């Protein structure tokens, strides 16, 4: 998620670049010495040039029979490009895709099934928010690569002035009490835009609900469930402890820029937002801290939407064995630790969270990632986001309309959209 800012992963042409992925420069042709040319597509900002060079050197040293060819792809237009590659006879061997995009590619039958490799790859420790959307109809096609999720970014000076100890905020009840205490004297307790639906989703999951549920092959919107209505009530109360707009999201205006301008005690964002705040207002450098979004109890952090990427192998890829070798290396513990530190990502396994303990923002993100979730695992979910009845519902409730009736309308739209392709 460019941290892919977790608005994240929304941008899913065919162009001259497609033929450049050809695997025909193979074996003794071009690679020399009988080496196999392995073509890999990684996305822009997935890895730095420095990390890429380090990995390529280490990988080829460990596997001298493979000539690794990594190509960096742009997010804009990648959906069409991947779809075309999967349907061609000239696909790359490995492709990075957004975790919530795996279902749409798997549905076409264009991906290699790695269900029999899950145990060997350490799948019992994978982050659920990467592993679950990487599966389709009971088979594992996407191998978790890296993750990012929202945390609370807070002003340490405002917390100190209000006598609030962030380290003691573990539950929603404690969070609300602290935020109410901060929301005084010209300070906003929290800046929470009315259409921050990813944050609302976390509260829905905390309550035991979901945005949509599947039964007997049919989907039904879940915003009108008792659990989701409780989540909206909590969101409404929290949102009122600041002056966030009720009719826009965190990108309009950019919430980090808003925090930089005023006395705002907290925002909910990926940790990279703190860098934006400091860039816009250098006086706040060293005055920002992080903690995981609190849960209903102190047993675990609050649920969060997990953004990030999985790695997939096209079914038509020419070098299946070598592609698996690549997956095993890049998603294995050694390189995951290095990637997490280099890129400030959450590694793909809960057992590796300690690798980022020295980075406060990433450490808070990793702590929250253990309760990570993904949007409903169906190719049609992209069509829901295009309409985004969740945002409309949130604004309606926050501006005084009846939550139950508005939730029923939004859920009906979700139901209709998800079942339109069945």
Specify the pLDDT at position 422.
Answer: 57
Sign, Cα dihedral of 305, 306, 307, 311: negative
The answer, yes or no, to whether residue 341 has pLDDT greater than 60, is yes
The answer, yes or no, to whether residue 30 has pLDDT greater than 60, is no
Specify the pLDDT at position 61.
Answer: 98
Specify the pLDDT at position 241.
Answer: 98
Among residues 399, 8, 348, 380, the alpha carbon closest in space to that of 197 is found at 8
Specify the pLDDT at position 421.
Answer: 65
322/209 Cα distance (integer angstroms): 41
326/329 Cα distance (integer angstroms): 5
pLDDT one-digit tens code per residue, 366-388: 999 999 999 999 999 999 999 99
Q: Is pTM beyond 0.85 here? A: yes
36/27 Cα distance (integer angstroms): 5
pLDDT one-digit tens code per residue, 166-221: 999 999 999 999 999 999 999 999 999 999 999 999 999 999 999 999 999 999 99
pLDDT one-digit tens code per residue, 253-271: 999 999 999 999 999 999 9
Specify the pLDDT at position 12.
Answer: 28
Specify the pLDDT at position 28.
Answer: 38
Per-residue pLDDT band for 24 (boundaries 50, 70, 90) equals very low
What would the mean pLDDT of 107-120 be, rounded to a whole number? Answer: 97
| Cross-strand partners of 307 | 148
Tokens read off for 126: 């994978």
Specify the pLDDT at position 198.
Answer: 97
Instruction: Kindly tell me the burial class for residue 252, based on how many C-beta atoms sit within 10 Å of its own C-beta (0-12, 13-18, 19 or more).
Output: exposed
What would the mean pLDDT of 104-131 be, rounded to a whole number? Answer: 97
The answer, yes or no, to whether residue 364 has pLDDT greater than 80, is yes
368/293 Cα distance (integer angstroms): 7
The answer, yes or no, to whether residue 312 has pLDDT greater than 80, is yes
């Amino acid at each position: 998620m460019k941290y892919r800012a977790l608005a994240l992963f929304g941008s899913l042409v065919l162009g001259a670049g497609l033929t450049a992925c050809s695997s025909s420069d193979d074996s003794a042709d071009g690679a020399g010495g009988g080496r196999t040319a392995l073509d890999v597509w990684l996305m822009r900002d997935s890895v730095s040039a420095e990390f890429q060079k380090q990995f390529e050197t280490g990988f080829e040293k460990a596997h001298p029979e493979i000539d690794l060819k990594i190509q960096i792809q742009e997010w804009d237009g990648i959906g069409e490009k991947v779809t075309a590659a999967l349907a061609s006879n000239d696909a790359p061997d490995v492709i990075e895709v957004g975790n919530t995009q795996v279902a749409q590619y798997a549905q076409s039958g264009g991906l290699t099934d790695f269900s029999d490799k899950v145990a060997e790859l350490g799948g019992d420790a994978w982050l659920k928010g990467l592993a679950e959307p990487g599966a389709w109809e009971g088979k594992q096609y996407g191998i978790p690569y890296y993750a990012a999720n929202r945390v609370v970014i807070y002003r340490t000076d405002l917390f100190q002035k209000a006598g609030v100890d962030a380290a003691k905020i573990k539950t929603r009840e404690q969070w609300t009490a602290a935020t109410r205490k901060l929301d005084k004297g010209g300070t906003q307790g929290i800046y929470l835009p009315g259409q921050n639906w990813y944050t609302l989703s976390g509260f829905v999951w905390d309550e035991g609900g979901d945005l949509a549920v599947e039964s007997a092959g049919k989907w039904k919107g879940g915003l009108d469930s008792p659990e989701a209505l409780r989540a909206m009530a909590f969101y409404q109360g929290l949102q009122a402890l600041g002056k966030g707009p009720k009719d826009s999201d965190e990108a309009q205006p950019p919430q980090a820029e808003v925090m930089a301008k005023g006395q705002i005690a907290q925002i909910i964002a990926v940790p990279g937002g703190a860098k934006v705040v400091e860039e816009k207002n250098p006086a706040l450098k060293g005055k920002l801290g992080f903690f995981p979004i609190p849960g209903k109890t102190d047993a675990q952090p609050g649920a969060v939407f997990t953004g990030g990427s999985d790695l997939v192998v096209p079914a038509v890829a020419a070098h299946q064995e070598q592609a698996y070798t690549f997956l095993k290396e890049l998603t294995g513990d050694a390189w995951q630790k290095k990637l997490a530190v280099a890129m400030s990502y959450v590694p793909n396994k809960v057992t590796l969270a300690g690798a980022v303990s020295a980075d406060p923002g990433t450490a808070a993100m990793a702590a929250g990632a253990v309760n990570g979730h993904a949007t409903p695992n169906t190719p049609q979910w992209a069509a829901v986001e295009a309409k985004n009845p969740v945002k409309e519902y949130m604004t309606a409730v926050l501006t005084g309309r009846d939550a139950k009736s508005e939730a029923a309308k939004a859920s009906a739209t979700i139901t209709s959209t998800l079942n339109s392709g069945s």
